[in-house]
Amino acid sequence: MNYTVSSHSFSSKSHELTNGQLTLSYDERNVLKTIMSGPVMVGQHETPEFEQAVSNVYLRVKSGEAISVTPLVFFSPETETFRTNAGEVVWQTTNDLFRARVIATLAKDQSIAFVTADVENLSGEAMTFDVIFGQDIALADAGAVKTNEAYASQYLDHEVFHLEGTGYTVCSRQNLPGSTGNPCSQVGSLSEVVGFSTDGIQFFGKSYKVTNQPEAVFQPTLANVKYQYEMGYIALQSADVVLAAGARHSTVFYVDFQPHMADSNVAEARPVAEIASAYVAPGFDKAVAIAQPEFPLSGESVLVGEELTAEEVTGFFGQERRFAEEKDGKLLSFFHTDSRYVTLQEKELHLERSTGHMVSSGNCHDFRNSVMSSTHGMYGVFNSHVVLGNTSFNKMMGVDRTFLNLFKSSGQRIWVRDNGEYRILTMPSAFETGTNFSRWVYKHNGGFIIVRSFSATESTTIQMEVETKGLEPLEILISNQLTMGNNEGEAVVTVNQNDRNIHVTGNHELIAVHHPELSFTMKLDEALTDVEKVTCEEDGSVRYLLLKGQLNDKIIVTIAGSLTDASQQTVETLDFDKEVAAFQRGQNDLINNFRVSFENDEYNAGKLNDTMQWFTHNALVHYATPHGLEQYSGAAWGTRDVSQGPFEFFMSMQRYDKVVDILESIYSHQYVETGTWPQWFMFDQYNTIQQEESHGDIVVWPLKAVADYILTTGDVAVLDRQVPYTSIEQKFAFTEEKFTLFAHLERQVQHIIDNLVPGTHLSCYGDGDWDDTLQPANQALRENMVSGWTIPLTLQTFKTMTRALKGLEQYAEFVARIADLTEKMEADYRKFLIKDGVITGFLHFPEGDIEQPEYLLHPSDQKTGIKYRLLPASRSIISETFDKEMAEQHMAIIEDKLVHPDGVRLMDRMAEYKAGKQTYFKRAELAANLGREVGLQYCHAHIRFIEALAKMGKVDEVYDNLYKILPVGIQSSVPNADLRQSNAYFSSSDGKFNDRYGAYENFSKLKTGEVKVKGGWKIYSSGPGIYINQLISNVLGVRFEGNSLVLDPVISKKLGKVTLNFRLYGKPCELVINPDQGEFTPKCIELNGADIGMTELPNAYRTGGVLVEKSVLDAQLTDVANKLEIWL
């Protein structure tokens, strides 16, 4: 072994300051780790080893306009830290101007923490200063917070009060109930507060990703604006203090915590006098001195790439600049060659949601494989969330828990020694992504540092390479955070060496049960000469692995994973160019070499081509490695989601083998006791982990998928496949006995029948429908309410199944049963759900009385104030449950009330938000943040709107809406769109409002485009797969029925001739569509120059598409090249 191995250890023991109600935990360096009250995290983050807490106190000395900022809880040559006899922690900073001490204390019998900043003027003249206090806030159970900090913040309501004498104070309430109810806090000061902010993005700012400095502390005042975003962080600014030479002054801040605040956030703050009465002035006696750490990885010294010249950009990425974005004359981003996407540093300064990427091994086309994946962050996260298989538990490396790079120990990082100190690579000059790789370019000292991280096509391997150009040799350190479990520190991680291979294993409880042989192996480059294990003294777990060496030209670190071979003796080094080319070939093959061109609009055709590549990437992440950039927890399929996104994606690509595998997996999770499904389930060896309760529509989606599959393929034999159930009573294990898929369907239909509202043939709402924000607030609504969307979805499903099984004697009784139910349900649909010519969003039967129905989200609704809901109308069109007149009428309503510049919205107005008070619906009334479905433009629903438009032949509207939700070149389609990452599906388009109240009052400005819109959470969604299906099947109109070809394109004459390259039945084909006489319904078709016969299909709203028998195509399609020309 030609490298040395050393060890550095730390203690994970906490020094705790507690009064029985609140506990402040400090690590061995006196750094605050957590603030807890029982199971509740008051703060949002558990500070990682070797990092500083995000909470801090800043002393700002002022001289005229100049501000000199000193963080007081921070390691520096001017700082010492110690503990008092009472066990309280003191941070003391001393320089020529002042001595400042910060100490946290607890009230004796209340859950109040006080932070005292004591300043003594050591200069010879008066000193003017203020103090800023910042504290991250979560107020939720630790498990919930660590599952997703941003999600916890979305439900954190902030109310700001201005109190006489003490100024601003901020009261925060966690609206999502936890183990103690709805925790709340009041953060304020015993002195006057003149400034405040409520979210970390306000305080740290977008520029933090480059500067590594909180933006707000260098401004004259804090924002003084309440902002409800995704990082609860309360910052308070004291009034200026003029301190005479030699004088002292104390500023006291407090965090007052309560485990439960009923109903909603407070209407008024707790009087500060009550809080002040609990304050006891601290002592500053030095009992235990704490030495400053010598460990080099503090993360405070960063290396940021210098700006590239235009010539350098071309040198790295070539001349092509597709969909280039610019601002103030500066190039921000562009696409080139095979859909590669380049982001320059300048763009990142404008983004709240940082640019990132997710790469997966090439076996991601089959969910049954254990896929190796990794998440990359533009700001120097070269690998993180490195997993093999289950994305929650099988982690080798941990996740990046902030979107601003606040913690720099997460994942895999690179440090270089520069001027005698290690500097961590953070924001590059440019960041490039391809489907299976990322590349970071750092311009530095007249040369370049270039990092590449990519996945393999044929093996479960990730490789990171770092090289230099034009630089002297660099001393390099590669840090690797090791997790081997769901969260940091949960598993004991073991590291062993074998020649140049480093083997990583762990003893996590769940891994030991499901994957005892799980291991990762790192193959080290010869240039890496030192390996340092950073271990926890208490359990010997290796938390970090540091790889050191000299970077002369290139260093390679290859990581391989295995579920079956803990030793992994052989790890092959990868070739970047070969892997990238092979991966791209595999993806092109999967999408049937899709490429489209528009004779008169190549710009938007180009958008669709780049989108096809990136939405395919996104769809495969959702299918095979379910998690996202913001939603890093996952590892499960939503029953509704997998029945749409992955199912429709593979259906549109004619990959029916993949579809059958999906169906078998879905039906194996059907509950034998009830016939319905969990809301979500893990589909791998962790299959017993699932959410038993589900929304009322969940039971319909698998049935719809089977019906669509059989109608498309004619493969009735799929109903004979043997599939187990899942047993609730057996702790969600699969049943030993297997049953035919048809038996599953019969059980499923019986569940639907058993859960009709008494006296009707309408399904009860249950725990909700597609719109997760509208989950019912009480039991009566669950049982006596009907979704206006679920019913037409069910009718569509039943009618499709009837068509699919028509004429098959063995299924005649089943078909008759669902046909009878369909007739009765459709009659009640028309009787109850449509009032005054408008379909209702919800129908409520108070106390089960069907004679006095109450209409919610309808023009007659006098309670919610919401008059129109999109989903019932769009699904009634897609399902052809509306007649033509009703469809036209509702489409006019949608265009008038719901269509906005950035897409169609779910309702004509938002549910009113009242500080978390809940009346009808859960999340719609609990979420303080205007994101996801709460903001009403949820892209998934917009895609279904496109489906409805195509069904009706609204050609111009189809293309107008087709581009609104594409991140590629979005400003050309949505003029009021804010900048966002251009190659990642965004799940929602969110109005740029500060809080729910501003959004409610100014909602109309979204319609006029006066307000900007932002992109929501990225990548992890069924949306990309559904979009691809709509584009291919309903816009370009290529789909199948009974395994014969259906051609039903909807083509605007404005586009001119449309050419689509796409394989049909595995044969290469060029489809040329000519919108001559019309814009839909083929009038004539030629295959390879010969006319072919066709049969027109029905459509309730327009002339339909045509069917071409497979036997005709089989006789004329060649294996080499084909031309199918269509005249509309």
User: Taking Cα atoms as reference points, which of 746, 789, 747 lies closest to residue 765?
Assistant: 789
From 715, 735, 755, the end of a domain falls on 755
| Sequence letter at residue 439 | R
User: Taking Cα atoms as reference points, which of 558, 546, 548 lies closest to residue 522?
Assistant: 558
CA–CA distance, 980 with 379 (Å, rounded to integer): 16
CA–CA distance, 94 with 170 (Å, rounded to integer): 31
From 729, 755, 781, the end of a domain falls on 755
From 251, 268, 290, the end of a domain falls on 290
Q: Do 677 and 639 contact (CB within 8 A), yes or no?
A: yes
Q: Which residues contact 479 (CB under 8 A, 6 or more apart)?
A: 297, 409, 412, 413, 414, 415, 544, 545, 546, 547
| Sequence letter at residue 646 | P
Is 318 in the same domain as 282? no
Neighbouring C-beta atoms of residue 129, cutoff 10 Å:
24
Tell me which H or E stretch contains 618: helix 602-624
Residue 596 inside a domain? The answer is no
Domain count, the chain: 6
Residue 1079 inside a domain? The answer is yes
Neighbouring C-beta atoms of residue 311, cutoff 10 Å:
7
Is 914 in the same domain as 989? yes
The domain of 806 spans 756-881
Q: Residue 694 forms beta bridges with which residues?
A: none
CA–CA distance, 179 with 457 (Å, rounded to integer): 45
CATH code, 308: 2.70.98
772 is catalytic: yes
Residue 11 inside a domain? The answer is no
Is 717 in the same domain as 766? no
Residue 41 inside a domain? The answer is no
Structure confidence at residue 35 (pLDDT): 98
In DSSP notation, 943-1007 reads HHHHHHHHHHT-HHHHHHHHTTT-STTGGGT-TTBPP--TTS-BSBEEE--SSHHHHHHTTHHHH
Structure confidence at residue 775 (pLDDT): 73
3-state helix/strand/coil string of 183-218: CEEEEEECCCEEEEEEEHHHHHCCCHHHHCCCCHHH
Q: Which residues contact 624 (CB under 8 A, 6 or more apart)?
A: 360, 364, 365, 366, 367, 369, 371
CA–CA distance, 644 with 704 (Å, rounded to integer): 9
Residue 144 inside a domain? The answer is no
User: Taking Cα atoms as reference points, which of 695, 697, 717 lies closest to residue 706?
Assistant: 717
Is 733 in the same domain as 804? no
Residue 1104 inside a domain? The answer is yes
Below-50 pLDDT ranges, the chain:
1
Is 533 in the same domain as 667? no
CATH code, 1113: 2.60.420.10
Residue 619 inside a domain? The answer is no
**Strand ranges inside 659-727, DSSP E:** 680-681, 690-691, 722-727
Structure confidence at residue 419 (pLDDT): 86
812-828 and 741-754 are packed helices; what angle lies between their axes, rounded to 10 degrees? Answer: 30
CATH code, 261: 2.70.98.40
Is 743 in the same domain as 647? yes
Q: Which residues contact 764 (CB under 8 A, 6 or more apart)?
A: 696, 755, 756, 757, 782, 783, 784, 785, 786
Is 834 in the same domain as 848? yes
CA–CA distance, 1090 with 1110 (Å, rounded to integer): 16
Is 644 in the same domain as 673? yes
Classify residue 367 by its DSSP letter: T
Distance of CA 855 to the CA centre of its chain: 34
Is 171 in the same domain as 260? yes
Please return the burial class of 274, using the count of CB atoms within 10 Å of its CB with bins 0-12, 13-18 and 19+.
exposed
User: Taking Cα atoms as reference points, which of 208, 305, 261, 242 lies closest to residue 63?
Assistant: 242
Q: Specify the pairing of strand 1123-1127 against strand 1070-1074.
A: parallel
Is 118 in the same domain as 56? yes
Is 846 in the same domain as 949? no
CA–CA distance, 415 with 226 (Å, rounded to integer): 37
Catalytic residue among 771, 772, 908, 1048: 772
Is 321 in the same domain as 357? yes
> For 404-418, how does the pLDDT look when each residue is reduced to its tens digit (9 = 90+)?
999 999 999 999 998
CA–CA distance, 722 with 720 (Å, rounded to integer): 6
Residue 364 inside a domain? The answer is yes
Q: Is the pTM of this model over 0.95?
A: yes
